[in-house]
Amino acid sequence: MTIRDRFEATYGSLSRLELQKGAQGLEELGLDDLFGGSKELFLGFYTEDGLRTAFERYGFFADLDELGFPDTKLEIDIQSTDEHLLRVWDVHTPKYPLLELVARRGSIRPNEELCERLNGLHLNVLEIEWLQLQNPTVDFQPDRPPLPGQRFPGLKVGHQVLEMLRLACKRLGLDALATVPSYFHNALFYSEEFWFFDPHVQGIFLALCRDVLPQAFASPAAASWALLWQMVVDDSDEIFPWFHEVQVAPVSDRVLAYYEADTYNKEVQTTLSTHSFRVLAQALMQQLEARGIHPLDVEKVETWIDD
């Protein structure tokens, strides 16, 4: 059984009563709470106890147990009306969270042409403003070197977290998950389920995957550093830095249809075929060696990460 099949089965068994366990009674809620989402609930729906129940039933805590974290703590912070924070950490290493998520309910307002394709003025989305998954108890390894933005290696539960977020969208009646990847490797990881909203940008991203990854020693880490360090040039020999554009995972039928349409895919292929990139490989290798990323020198890496 796949993660999606397992999570879908669990999704159907979770009731609103369980997910809002401990919430104030109906008599204490106003009209805004009933119809607009309570300000006391994570994303206007989940209580902290309800999230613990969901994480337990989806098997997420069991996954953490297998990774060596049998004693974990979950907490939410919903003081900000715009962004809600969720953290999970190991009680024995509380300095660094295992999971840190900042998310909010928002919208994407497409331009006039894309608006017509979507048959609507906007998309209601769950925006992932920040997602960090890290294992503070292990060191980087030659086959898992540091990626831009990492203090510790990843936690290897990204698929489970994204699946829970997708199902949260479904439960909240939203159109899609949306995020703006900070780095190339983020977009690469998300690309199994996410596509850039703008077909032109999606085409450029695929061209980067086609050209940069092989030239960066077939390493997502090296490719991501190359773009961050501005060591990638386009076919005009101009520096091509990493861009920050919206990447979307469809949930509703209309967003799925938008991505499946011939118009979207033709524009992607046209852009893909008219863009090419080159890595400044020698400069990249020198920088990777200087930072201790390749070949891996953990002591050297930790020195500049701490700084």
Residue 104: exposure state from Cβ atoms within 10 A (0-12, 13-18, ≥19): middle
Output the tens digit of pLDDT for each of the chain's 307 residues. 899 999 999 999 999 999 999 886 544 544 444 444 455 899 999 999 999 999 999 999 999 999 999 999 999 999 877 799 999 999 998 899 999 999 999 998 877 666 677 776 689 999 999 999 999 999 999 999 999 999 999 999 999 999 999 999 999 999 999 999 999 999 999 999 999 999 999 999 999 999 999 999 999 999 999 999 999 999 999 999 999 999 999 999 989 999 999 999 999 999 999 999 999 999 999 999 999 999 999 999 988 887 6
Place of tokens 């990881």: 189
Q: Are 125 and 173 in contact (CB under 8 A)?
A: no
pLDDT on residue 81: 72
Q: CA torsion angle for 95, 88, 130, 297 (degrees, to 10)?
A: 50
Give the E-state strand segments of 78-228 in sequence order: 84-90, 99-108, 123-133, 176-179, 195-196
What's the rounded Cα separation, in Å, for the pair 122 and 175? 10
At 106, the amino acid letter reads G
**Could you tell me the two tokens for 207?**
């061209």
What's the rounded Cα separation, in Å, for the pair 86 and 75? 6
Strand order in the sheet with 99-108: 72-77, 84-90, 99-108, 123-133, 176-179, 247-250, 195-196
pLDDT on residue 36: 45
- The CA–CA distances, whole Å, from 199 to 39, 203, 205, 232, 246 equal 36, 6, 10, 21, 11
What's the rounded Cα separation, in Å, for the pair 202 and 204? 5
pLDDT on residue 34: 45
pLDDT on residue 24: 64
Instruction: Give the single-character DSSP code of 243.
Output: P
pLDDT on residue 284: 98
pLDDT on residue 35: 43
Q: Which residues contact 281 (CB under 8 A, 6 or more apart)?
A: 215, 216
Domain-by-domain residue ranges, the chain? 3-306
